[in-house]
């Protein structure tokens, strides 16, 4: 008549598990239903942070926002189109140097120079992309690296325009942006607008076509998608956002130097994508936070920071290919099932 004690324990354990699963499922449905509310909350928190932390942390957050724009722009290429680029720093530097040259050499107003940064990066990325999209896989990646190093060499050697290895210094910004808190809010506004535009791109029919190309280039061509044309367009678009990040960096540092175009800077942007999760829209933002904090901690603790970051990249590639956002997404998916 009565079930053994072991059976009752099994029944109780099953009920507890079902309760946990149902609770988690409810949370997931709620999270997905109010996704934009969560985003708005995050934006409100970012806007409120300067009131509760000192200037050094606000400066660190400015770096996070600048890297977020650059990494998110690159993620349009890597995460959504499946094109591995090793040369984002070149376009990033074009945006920064274009703004610096216009302000210091030409005397252009800040607003015009700031807009000129992404415009110049877009034009350069269109030219570079025209050559690069004619190759695929590793050949495409090596071409982007070669063009980036070519840009670095130009900035390093052209003393008359770029100042060579002396760079361009004393870049003036409007008086209201002298305050690090004010510049933080300016960078936050630019980041929000950039992310919103990118969100519209990846969720448009054009963005869905890019994801088809990522999954299977042959089938994309078979159903009538002009793969090379789409790749050139998205390469140009990512150049625009890298240019926005470059302009933000120029105004933030008040100077530019050739190393921002070097391959090491490209690695930093790529790591931010990998660390956060390149197949998730907000992955680069999460990765930028993690990378900046990790870089500061490692640099303060050891002189072998490059070695530690290299080991982290190896571990990411081998065991956490989905990045932080990917791991979190997998846990939520397991809970849902």
- Tens of pLDDT, residue by residue over 150-202, are 999 999 999 988 988 899 998 989 989 999 999 999 999 999 999 999 999 99
From the number of C-beta atoms within 10 Å of its C-beta (0-12, 13-18, 19+), residue 46 rates as middle
Whether residue 297 lies inside any domain: the answer is: no
pLDDT at residue 28 above 60?
Answer: no
- pLDDT given at position 12: 45
Residues 132-156, mean pLDDT to the nearest whole number: 93
Whether residue 279 lies inside any domain: the answer is: no
User: How many Å apart are CA 117 and CA 107, to the nearest integer?
Assistant: 15
Same domain, 140 and 228: yes
Same domain, 61 and 47: no
Residues 9-24, mean pLDDT to the nearest whole number: 44
Which letter does DSSP use for residue 256 in this model? B
User: How many Å apart are CA 326 and CA 131, to the nearest integer?
Assistant: 33
- pLDDT given at position 31: 45
Give helix then strand counts, H and E, for the chain.
15, 0
**End-to-end Cα distance, the chain:** 34
Give how many domains the chain has, as a whole number: 2
Whether residue 316 lies inside any domain: the answer is: no
Which letter does DSSP use for residue 80 in this model? T
User: How many Å apart are CA 294 and CA 126, to the nearest integer?
Assistant: 34
- pLDDT given at position 25: 47
Could you tell me how far CA 57 lies from the centroid of its own chain? 20
Residues 77-91, mean pLDDT to the nearest whole number: 93
Whether residue 100 lies inside any domain: the answer is: yes
Residues 304-329, mean pLDDT to the nearest whole number: 77
Query: What residues contact 244, with CB distance under 8 A and at least 6 apart?
Result: 69, 73, 95, 117, 118, 190, 194
- How many residues comprise the chain? 337
pLDDT bucket at 321, cuts 50 / 70 / 90: confident
- pLDDT given at position 34: 60
Which letter does DSSP use for residue 162 in this model? H
Whether residue 274 lies inside any domain: the answer is: no
From the number of C-beta atoms within 10 Å of its C-beta (0-12, 13-18, 19+), residue 45 rates as exposed
Same domain, 191 and 210: yes
- pLDDT given at position 330: 65
Domain containing 32 equals 11-52
Q: Which two tokens stand for residue 318?
A: 């081998």
- pLDDT given at position 182: 93
Same domain, 41 and 100: no
pLDDT at residue 256 above 50?
Answer: yes
Whether residue 1 lies inside any domain: the answer is: no
Same domain, 86 and 223: yes
Residues 272-291, mean pLDDT to the nearest whole number: 90
Is the sign of the CA dihedral 218, 219, 225, 227 positive or negative? negative
- pLDDT given at position 336: 53
Closest among 155, 86, 93 to 124, alpha carbons compared? 93
pLDDT at residue 27 above 80?
Answer: no
Whether residue 289 lies inside any domain: the answer is: no
Same domain, 26 and 67: no
Residues 288-314, mean pLDDT to the nearest whole number: 83
Q: Which two tokens stand for residue 18?
A: 């079902």
Whether residue 319 lies inside any domain: the answer is: no
Same domain, 46 and 66: no
- Averaged pLDDT score across all residues of the chain: 85
Same domain, 116 and 213: yes
pLDDT at residue 85 above 80?
Answer: yes
User: How many Å apart are CA 274 and CA 106, to the nearest integer?
Assistant: 39
pLDDT at residue 8 above 50?
Answer: no
């Amino acid at each position: 008549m009565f079930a053994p004690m072991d059976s009752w324990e099994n029944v109780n354990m099953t009920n507890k598990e079902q309760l946990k699963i149902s609770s988690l499922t409810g949370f997931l449905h709620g999270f997905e239903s109010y996704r934009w509310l969560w985003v708005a909350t995050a934006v409100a928190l970012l806007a409120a942070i300067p009131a509760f932390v000192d200037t050094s942390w606000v400066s660190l957050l400015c770096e996070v926002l600048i890297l977020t724009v650059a990494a998110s722009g690159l993620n349009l290429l890597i995460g959504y189109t499946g094109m591995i680029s090793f040369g984002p720093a070149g376009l990033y530097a074009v945006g920064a140097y274009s703004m610096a040259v216009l302000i210091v050499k030409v005397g252009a107003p800040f607003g015009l120079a700031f807009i000129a940064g992404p415009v110049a990066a877009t034009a350069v990325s269109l030219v570079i992309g025209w050559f690069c999209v004619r190759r695929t896989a590793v050949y495409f990646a090596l071409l982007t690296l070669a063009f980036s190093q070519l840009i670095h060499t130009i900035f390093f050697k052209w003393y008359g325009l770029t100042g060579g290895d002396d760079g361009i210094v004393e870049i003036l910004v409007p008086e209201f942006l002298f305050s690090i808190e004010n510049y933080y809010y300016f960078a936050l506004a630019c980041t929000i607008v950039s992310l919103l535009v990118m969100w519209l791109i990846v969720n448009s029919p054009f963005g869905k076509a890019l994801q088809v190309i990522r999954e299977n280039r042959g089938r994309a061509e078979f159903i009538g998608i002009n793969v090379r044309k789409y790749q050139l367009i998205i390469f140009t678009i990512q150049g625009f956002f890298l240019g926005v990040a470059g302009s933000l960096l120029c105004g933030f540092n008040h100077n530019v130097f050739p190393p921002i175009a070097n391959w090491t800077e490209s690695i930093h942007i790529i790591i931010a994508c990998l660390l956060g999760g390149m197949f998730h829209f907000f992955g680069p933002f999460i990765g930028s936070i993690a990378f900046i904090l990790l870089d500061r901690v490692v640099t303060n603790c050891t002189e072998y920071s490059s070695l530690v970051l290299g080991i982290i990249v190896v571990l990411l590639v081998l065991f956490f290919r989905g990045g932080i956002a990917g791991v979190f997404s997998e846990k939520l998916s397991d809970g849902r099932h």
